[in-house]
Structure 1
Amino acid sequence: MVHRPTMDEVRPVADAFLTASADEASPEDAVALALRLGGGTREGQAHVNLMLVHLFADILERECPTQWRTLWGVPDVAKINALAEEPDPVERYARQKANAGRPVSTADVKARVTNAVNADVLARKFLQVRRQQPERLGEFSAAAEGATGIMVDLVWGALWIACGKVRERAGKPTTD
């Protein structure tokens, strides 16, 4: 039987990601913690990923200032994640990979950046459905993943980045 971690077990993973974000450090420890908690199974990891989506969504809903919300009161993840970005994220990502000894093609990097932008939009839509039609959340998540190919980990990644930026601008501590 697959162990399904509780929110209390997953919360330290979210805290580790937010701490790495605040320290501008690599989130490798948080990734390792998430993988361990998932138990090495696809189902376990999917469960952890889904819980991370909800944890980061809770934080963003609670802490996002009004000026970074849509007309419906939902945090505008795409707008938040665009704050203070370098003008060319493709070049920056390619440079980081090359410096790490893992060069990638420009096409691969552009595809990754496109997925990140799509994840920002999907994360905002997720927050909107979560707020306005919570009973349709499961249906929305399945349809969105099937239609866009955007995986749950990219959505929680978009929410994590937005949480870090909101906290950075507000001068809040990184963990709850």
Structure 2
Amino acid sequence: MKNIVVYDSLTGNTKKLAEAIAKNLNCELKCVGDCEGESFENYKQIIFGFYIDKGFMGVDAERFTQKIRGKKVGIFYTLGGDPKSDRASALKERIKEFFKANDNEIVKVFYCQGAISDIQLEAARKRALAEGSPITPQREVFWKEGKKHPNDKDVQEAVAAFKDFK
């Protein structure tokens, strides 16, 4: 049995991490879009990466998770929000429970900030205004800094998180 890294990426953030993790582990790498009709029974462990969209994984990633049952799973994801926030911690627990519901054993979870595309950023601004959340100068700085992620440090930390996943 072997290992595989599978990912779903919208802006390239998650793909960047997936490629580095797979290269370090010398294992197969696949995009969710290339997994249609594929069974993952022959894999001992799956490392699955995705992006956060409106508070949870994207639709394609969520659909793919139905193929992951009874496996040892490593999870990594990128989010546009602050990875050190209480909201990010709560999201991590929600994601772990989601995978456990399919009888998976969670071996490792890694997440970091990912750049938000200009389209996503504009949507976030509109949502914030609609919800009555002020767009503060600090928030603008956070979004601007977010464009630099995942950076080399994030990639190194992702690789280190899964280095023993063999």
TM-score class, shorter-chain normalisation, is under 0.3
- TM-score by length of structure 1 reads 0.26
- TM-score by length of structure 2 reads 0.27
Q: Point out which structure has higher relative CO (alpha carbons under 8 A, 6+ apart).
A: 1
Which has more helix, going by share of residues? Answer: 1
Which has more strand, going by share of residues? Answer: 2
